[in-house]
Amino acid sequence: MKQILKQRRLSLAELCQTPVILWSGGAISRNFPANRYPFRASSHFLYFAGIPLENAAIKLDQGKLELFIDDPDPSLTLWHGETPLRAEIADKIGADAAYPLSELAHHTKDAATIPVQDPNTYKQQCQHLNRFLTFEGIELDLAQAIITLRLAHDAAALEELKKSASVAVLAHLAGMKASRNAKTEAEIRAAMESVIIAHDMTCAYNSIVTVHGEILHNEQYDHFLESGDLLLADVGAETYLGWASDITRTWPISGQFSPTQRDIYDVVLAAHDACIAKMCPGVEYREIHLLAARVMAEGLVSLGILQGDPDSLVEMDAHALFFPHGIGHLLGLDVHDMEDLGDLAGYENGRIRSNRFGLGYLRLDRPLRSQMLVTIEPGFYQVSAILGNPDIRTKYRSVVNWDKLSQFEDVRGIRIEDDVLITDNGIEVLTAALPTQADHIEEIIRD
Amino acid sequence: MKQILKQRRLSLAELCQTPVILWSGGAISRNFPANRYPFRASSHFLYFAGIPLENAAIKLDQGKLELFIDDPDPSLTLWHGETPLRAEIADKIGADAAYPLSELAHHTKDAATIPVQDPNTYKQQCQHLNRFLTFEGIELDLAQAIITLRLAHDAAALEELKKSASVAVLAHLAGMKASRNAKTEAEIRAAMESVIIAHDMTCAYNSIVTVHGEILHNEQYDHFLESGDLLLADVGAETYLGWASDITRTWPISGQFSPTQRDIYDVVLAAHDACIAKMCPGVEYREIHLLAARVMAEGLVSLGILQGDPDSLVEMDAHALFFPHGIGHLLGLDVHDMEDLGDLAGYENGRIRSNRFGLGYLRLDRPLRSQMLVTIEPGFYQVSAILGNPDIRTKYRSVVNWDKLSQFEDVRGIRIEDDVLITDNGIEVLTAALPTQADHIEEIIRD
């Protein structure tokens, strides 16, 4: 760990001459002070400190590392057992010096930082640096430097990301196997998350496990399962060191897709496969998104749901009636990696979000580079807020065959999502161990 | 729900003439703004509003209920689906009026509140009321009034508390059954928490599932299980409406206690049973704690670990060498109910914490009353911070038989915890469906 952390610091020093202080943040109380949400250190801190220390800060300056953390209160040993001392932690992460937190005030001169999510620590950051923190000036420079590093995952990061992906794969397999005997969404969620917990990992984000996949950010799990339902599960793991995975599969509870479900599933899968086949260093991610849109449009035309020329349909955002989100996002220490920096990480310098319906939700608009990890997650949804909107129905009146569409009412939401690493000469799908083919998924469920 | 909420408001109005505003709080970002910890509404809000509304406030005044919440942003329907409108929520909870949040500023005159945990909402509370919030003046009066109500659980609360307890019982049974095949603490934790998730509940607190029960607040799950290990599991559920359960069991991974483990287990169980047998309205909880201490002292004397007269041993806190925490705490919407109010709820007016080693950690010092729910959780631990402390060893030199104690080194930590409701004429153990007898537990594991 020492060696990789040193390499990260040296790389940062090349890009950023300012001294840098990164805070880890503190645990947040849930309903009373001693009942706290599980602590999650700031991802930027984790990247350079390697381990999730609570209430700590590190200073990075010309490749040197200083650690600021208080030794555990001896009176708390009764409750928490022996916990590592500052000197032991400093040694473990290869710090050049280590101080109690009270010393930090004397080391903040000219330092840049990245604001953390925890409001209490954010306040400390502002007080220590004596200013409100915005992404301007030295903070913007620092953010850009960190983005450059974190966009390309090093070997240590990849090792963690692969561990995370492999556990998420097992969670999805467990979810599929649990389907035929489960009565509620919650029971399938339990089967999936218990795999993550059993591997001593956490969920990288609040799981989506629902028969109403058309509600994109559905965090309810109380629906009963009906035999004709498709279940959409978007569940990912996070390792102890903070590295995330992000997988979605959609499967028939019964173990058999209906013909209409199968038709749409295969359209989504065709988009998924076409995107992955096209990815390699240098390709614009936005083009991958548009490729997904075109393959979706082609498929929906061939099913008779859309009418017209696929390219023209994509130009008029007709694909977005059914596929309203982006094809994916960066993945790393955060499941939407570095999204705490707004679009700074997702959008190449000088680019901004489109106001087109079919592009505005794209979270990533950069050329792919080696060691970048992204998700590919095309989907098809019948969202009533879109398809029931009178203005939209009027605008797309001539390109949607509404009668035909009504034959597909047993398809509310389908998404297929994998984690794709860009390599020097192509790609590696970190989640490839989990089948995507409808036949294979049916076999797993019925097994 | 309307009826019970109205009853709670009317009861509050009898105790507190001040208008009251309670905020629910908002979700807290984890590592980036859109990746949030699962939302938990403030317990005081939940008590009077009934359901976990995010970013809402209620005003209670002379039994009237006003709701302040914004209607969902229509542009978010795409992501979150149709969510209930203000008017629908107002109807559901029986509000007399309902307004957007911006109206709240016009309704704050002379109002008292209880500060929430979420720092962003806490800031809003201070701004709205134009003062820093402390437990003085009208806030203290309000806190005392709410404590009076929440100390005695009404029928609707009890229904939820029993649901929560029954799921926690199933979780512990699953943990026991998973033990013989599990390789790590994390795997047993997974088996237990998956039961809670499958019932669409959450954990009421961060689970303790450890072979190092002597570390009282152990939240690590990475130890491998050895056949001679005792596993201590302190795991509780929380219903959707926020009501908690809290159970601890300690069992042998192998399905069989060693003779020394069994000896100590039976001492702890004797303390547990003696406490429960003694509880009824009017009895001081502090006396229950001291009873546990005396039964533990008696048991340890009979095993030869302590030497002397049990009452004298308790007076000199010798029991606390092995049982350093309190016998339990209030249970309700919080697992340490109302601990956000410091000791206001736990300690009868005019009482303060003892500075005695054997009493200072007692969280509850009140006479028991009907409808009060408390935990009973005696334990035995070999904590190196206590037993290895030279001053302590000197002080207790003559009452501990250290040689004898060394024969019990395979007993690191044992706790047995149940949830006990005080009734008009005695008690009801809400978690009684989970066996406590060593024989029964062995049977479940070996089954």
Angstrom distance (rounded) from CA A185 to CA B167: 17
Residues A369 and A346 in one domain: yes
What is the structure's pLDDT at A135? 87
Task: Flag if B32 and A336 touch (Cβ within 8 Å).
Answer: yes
A222 token code pair? 């109380």
- The CATH number of whichever domain residue B375 belongs to comes to 3.90.230.10
B65 phi, psi to nearest 5 deg: -125, 125
Task: Flag if B194 and A194 touch (Cβ within 8 Å).
Answer: yes
Residues B291 and B359 in one domain: yes
Report chain B's mean pLDDT, rounded to a whole number. 96
Task: Flag if B35 and A215 touch (Cβ within 8 Å).
Answer: no
Nearest to A251 by CA among A235, A279, A265, A231: A231
Residues B261 and B394 in one domain: yes
| Averaged pLDDT, A306-320 | 97
Residues B138 and B245 in one domain: no
Residues A160 and A137 in one domain: no
CA dihedral over A361, A334, A374, A149, signed as positive or negative? positive
What is the structure's pLDDT at B415? 98
B278 token code pair? 């003694």
What is the structure's pLDDT at B272? 98
Angstrom distance (rounded) from CA B35 to CA A203: 11
A232 phi, psi to nearest 5 deg: -105, 120
Q: Is the pLDDT of residue B75 over 80?
A: no
Burial status of residue B431 (CB atoms within 10 A of its CB: 0-12, 13-18, 19 or more): buried
Q: Is the pLDDT of residue A98 over 80?
A: yes
Report chain A's mean pLDDT, rounded to a whole number. 96
Task: Flag if A32 and B217 touch (Cβ within 8 Å).
Answer: no
Residues B140 and B255 in one domain: no
H/E run at residue A104: none
> How many CA atoms does the CB half-sphere of B35 hold within 13 Å?
25
Angstrom distance (rounded) from CA B42 to CA B54: 10
Residues A126 and A214 in one domain: no
- DSSP letter assigned to residue A223: P
| Chain B: closest CA distance from residue A218 (Å) | 6
| Averaged pLDDT, A233-260 | 98
What is the structure's pLDDT at B447? 85
Counted across chains A and B, CB pairs separated by less than 8 A come out at 158
Which of A151, A185, A212 represents a domain boundary (last residue)? A151
Angstrom distance (rounded) from CA B129 to CA B112: 8
Residues B95 and B51 in one domain: yes
Residue of chain A minimizing CA distance to B218: A80
What is the structure's pLDDT at A78? 78
Q: Assess: ipTM above 0.85.
A: yes
Angstrom distance (rounded) from CA A81 to CA B216: 8
C-alpha torsion B305→B311→B315→B318, nearest 10: 10
CA-based R_g, chain A, Å: 24
Angstrom distance (rounded) from CA B279 to CA B287: 10
Q: What is the 3-state secondary structure (H, E, C) of B428-447?
A: EECCCCCCCCHHHHHHHHHC
Question: Cβ neighbours of residue B280 under 8 Å, at least 6 residues apart?
Answer: B368, B422, B425, B426, B427
Q: Is the pLDDT of residue B373 over 80?
A: yes
Angstrom distance (rounded) from CA B181 to CA B165: 26
Residues B327 and B431 in one domain: yes
| Averaged pLDDT, A135-142 | 93
Q: Which of A31, A117, A199 faces B31 most closely, judged by CB atoms?
A: A117
What is the structure's pLDDT at A300? 98
Give the domain range for residue A271.
Answer: 155-446
- The CATH number of whichever domain residue B101 belongs to comes to 3.40.350.10
| Chain A: closest CA distance from residue B131 (Å) | 19
pLDDT digits (tens, 9 = 90+) for B250-278: 999 999 999 999 999 999 999 999 999 99
Q: Which of A30, A32, A340 faces B31 most closely, judged by CB atoms?
A: A340
What is the structure's pLDDT at A221? 97
Question: Which residues in A lie closer than 8 A to residue B203 (C-beta atoms)?
Answer: none
pLDDT digits (tens, 9 = 90+) for A20-47: 999 999 999 999 999 999 999 999 999 9
Q: In which band, very low, low, confident or very high, does the pLDDT at A434 lie, cut at 50, 70 and 90?
A: very high
Q: Is the pLDDT of residue B126 over 90?
A: yes
The answer to whether the CB of A342 falls within 8 A of the CB of B40 is no
Task: Flag if B117 and A216 touch (Cβ within 8 Å).
Answer: no
| Averaged pLDDT, B439-443 | 98
- According to DSSP, the β-strands at B56-61 and B202-203 are unpaired
Angstrom distance (rounded) from CA A23 to CA A57: 4
H/E run at residue A442: helix A438-446
What is the structure's pLDDT at A365? 97
Question: Which residues in A lie closer than 8 A to residue B386 (C-beta atoms)?
Answer: 78
Report the domain count for chain A: 2
Which of A151, A178, A198 represents a domain boundary (last residue)? A151
Report percent pLDDT > 90 for chain A: 93
pLDDT digits (tens, 9 = 90+) for B91-105: 999 999 999 999 999
pLDDT digits (tens, 9 = 90+) for A347-399: 999 999 999 888 888 999 999 999 999 999 999 999 999 999 999 999 999 99
Residues A234 and A379 in one domain: yes
Q: Is the pLDDT of residue A75 over 80?
A: no
Question: Which residues in A lie closer than 8 A to residue B33 (C-beta atoms)?
Answer: 117, 339-340
Task: Flag if B37 and A37 touch (Cβ within 8 Å).
Answer: yes
Residues B109 and B221 in one domain: no
Residue of chain B minimizing CA distance to A385: B78
Residues B78 and B139 in one domain: yes
Q: Is the pLDDT of residue B359 over 90?
A: no
Angstrom distance (rounded) from CA A138 to CA A131: 12
Which of B84, B119, B150 represents a domain boundary (last residue)? B150
Q: In which band, very low, low, confident or very high, does the pLDDT at A134 lie, cut at 50, 70 and 90?
A: confident
